[in-house]
Amino acid sequence: MTEIESDVMGTAVRDWVRGVSRVAVFTGAGISTDSGIPDYRGPNGVWTRNPEAAEAFTYQRFMADPAVRARFWRAYLGHAAWRAVPNRAHLAFAELERAGLSVRVLTQNVDGLHQKAGSSPRKVLELHGTIHEVMCTTCGARSPTAGTLARVEAGDEDPACLDCGGVLKLATVLFGENLRFETIAQAEKIARACQLMLAVGSSLQVEPAASLCRVAVESGAQLVIVNHQPTPYDRLATEVVREPIGVAVPAIVAELIG
């Protein structure tokens, strides 16, 4: 495993881009920080600065405590994700798809920025769901998030399902909540089929999503990690790139397109 920190990265990556036509892109919160959405575990992350904030993202507490739900919904009223636009890294991966490579995006993010950047929605697998829909935990009804947030803004601190009165939550996976079996099975299939996995902006600490890196490597793919901080999977990587994501990703994509 080699770490790349200088501006000669474009020269160094050529060995592992040669002949690659099937790419799996695994992205975490770090890819969206340049879009103004704070990450969670970085030096200035939401949970680094305020560990108690994670409480509202725990499924058990969210379901049991109306006060936790009220805090959760208030936090999302003015969330940066609603104003965010795709950055250079999101746009680069969309360009990679348009160039004709077989690209699948496996994202831990719930912001929808890959799709906004132009990646085909059917080629983006949102491992942890999306903030753009809410779902009822009782009847399963789904609806656009905007309507629920409008109710919160109007004074409904803990909006209930309009169909059955059940607890509403964002259509995201909270801590203590299992990923759908179908989702992780599809992600593993993609990881096994790729020649190159690019893991970008993820601490690779949240399982089982992070283990997709191991699945890819054990299936013969090369793993390249682009992240400022060390991750538990660095030792499996062909390269670890410490350059800023907005610099590194466009350079890697340019090499892949050739």
Residues with a catalytic annotation lie at 128
The neighbour count for residue 225, using CB atoms within 10 Å, is 26
Give the distance from CA 17 to its chain's centroid: 23
Which residue in this structure is represented by tokens 């989702």?
183
List the structure tokens of 26: 């695994």
DSSP 148-204: HHHHHHTT-SSPBPTTT-PBEEEEEPPBT-PPPHHHHHHHHHHHHH-SEEEEES--S
CA distances from 110 to 104, 128, 254 (A): 16, 6, 26
Task: Write b or e for each residue in 120-144: b if 16 or more Cβ atoms lie within 10 A of its Cβ, otherwise e.
Answer: eeebbbbbbbbbbbbbbeeeeeebe
